[in-house]
Amino acid sequence: MSAAPDQYTPPAWTRPLAWFTNPHGLNDDRRLREAVQGKTVMVTGASFGIGEATAKRLASMGAKVLLVARTQDKLEVVAQAIRAAGGEAVVYAVDLSKPHDAAALAERVLKEHGHLDILLNNAGRSIRRSIHESYDRFHDFERTMAINYLGPVQLVLGFIPSMRARKQGQIINISTWGVKIPPGANWAAYQASKAAFDVWLRSVSTEIKPDGIDVTSIYPAVVYTRMSAPTKALHHMPGMSVEEAAHVIERAIVERPDDISPPWLWGMQVASVTLSKPVRWLMQKTYRPAFTKR
């Protein structure tokens, strides 16, 4: 079996639809440089995919980037590329699914850098598995909650007091469009864990916004990375390259909106409420459970 590629290319027919299918980014070096120059930015999940591309881009615009993930060798490669291009990067090899380690990371970063300007919560894990295949896999639900919810909660808790004291800061969360529409089959563990953090952070944002801390939730559609690569159906769907996803995050940093979504998502949300019965009927009718196929 060949390994899934780290990244793959969007099908050509989807490109004319990009304005509608993808969240809009901002590719403006001048404004990005103004927003991040001299700032300390933590990028979780910086060893691959969206995080790697974003960290490189922010560093190239003058940010000091703190690279967080588990794979130290890969983080060092990313850091070396950043330094070779004249940027500043510090590596933190941490397993964020362990809340104790996430708390220790926040403490260490505040000690070593004094403060954090921007936290990009991007590290994540997806699992696509039907419930039929999950009866003896309770650990799937534990590990998605650990990395997509509990670890990030602990990390954010570690930085809020310092951001509040400084009356400034930004927390950006890479959520997923799946949390905004009726949940699709096979993604229960992933979608529930992403939804948990999405709701938690938006709830917290109401409390911390008056203290000068902005929160932006980003709802990307498909991004062509090693995470989406194993799901072959996604190869034929409209989506974004990691560089395009990085531009969406850049827009979040420059404009600091509450959320960024693809244009179609709003219509889907309305339809999922106003047409909830037909939508549910359609989803159930079109789903073919694995165990009925046998």
Ligand X SMILES: NC(=O)c1ccc[n+]([C@@H]2O[C@H](COP(=O)([O-])OP(=O)(O)OC[C@H]3O[C@@H](n4cnc5c(N)ncnc54)[C@H](OP(=O)(O)O)[C@@H]3O)[C@@H](O)[C@H]2O)c1
Active site residues: 190
- Helix, strand, coil tally for the chain in percent (to 5): 55, 15, 30
Smallest distance, ligand X to C-beta of residue 100, A: 13
CA 111 to mean position of chain CA atoms: 26
Q: Could you say whether residue 69 binds ligand X (CB under 6 A)?
A: yes
Q: What would the two tokens of residue 164 be?
A: 């509040």
Q: Could you say whether residue 96 binds ligand X (CB under 6 A)?
A: yes
d(CA 41, CA 267): 34
Q: Could you say whether residue 205 binds ligand X (CB under 6 A)?
A: no
Q: Could you say whether residue 226 binds ligand X (CB under 6 A)?
A: yes
Amino acid at the residue 195: A
Q: Could you say whether residue 95 binds ligand X (CB under 6 A)?
A: yes
Closest CB to ligand X among residues 36, 224: 224
* Chosen residue from 36, 50, 58, 195 binding ligand X by CB under 6 A: 50
Q: Could you say whether residue 119 binds ligand X (CB under 6 A)?
A: no
Smallest distance, ligand X to C-beta of residue 43, A: 9
Range in contact with ligand X (rule: CB under 6 A) among 66-74, 82-90, 103-111, 133-141? 66-74
* Coil/strand/helix, residue 85: coil
* Chosen residue from 19, 20, 29, 71 binding ligand X by CB under 6 A: 71
**94: Cβ–Cβ under 8 A, 6 or more apart, which residues?**
68, 69, 70, 101, 102, 104, 105
Q: Could you say whether residue 55 binds ligand X (CB under 6 A)?
A: no
Closest CB to ligand X among residues 40, 261: 261
d(CA 294, CA 292): 6
Range in contact with ligand X (rule: CB under 6 A) among 31-39, 70-78, 203-211, 251-259? 70-78
d(CA 5, CA 242): 13
# binding residues, ligand X (CB under 6 A): 29
d(CA 249, CA 271): 27
Q: Could you say whether residue 243 binds ligand X (CB under 6 A)?
A: no
Q: Could you say whether residue 230 binds ligand X (CB under 6 A)?
A: no
Smallest distance, ligand X to C-beta of residue 109, A: 14
DSSP string, 45-77: TTTSHHHHHHHHHHHHTT-EEEEEES-HHHHHH
Q: What would the two tokens of residue 97 be?
A: 């699914």
Binding site for ligand X (CB under 6 A): 45-51, 69-71, 74, 95-97, 122-126, 147, 174, 176, 220, 222-223, 225-228
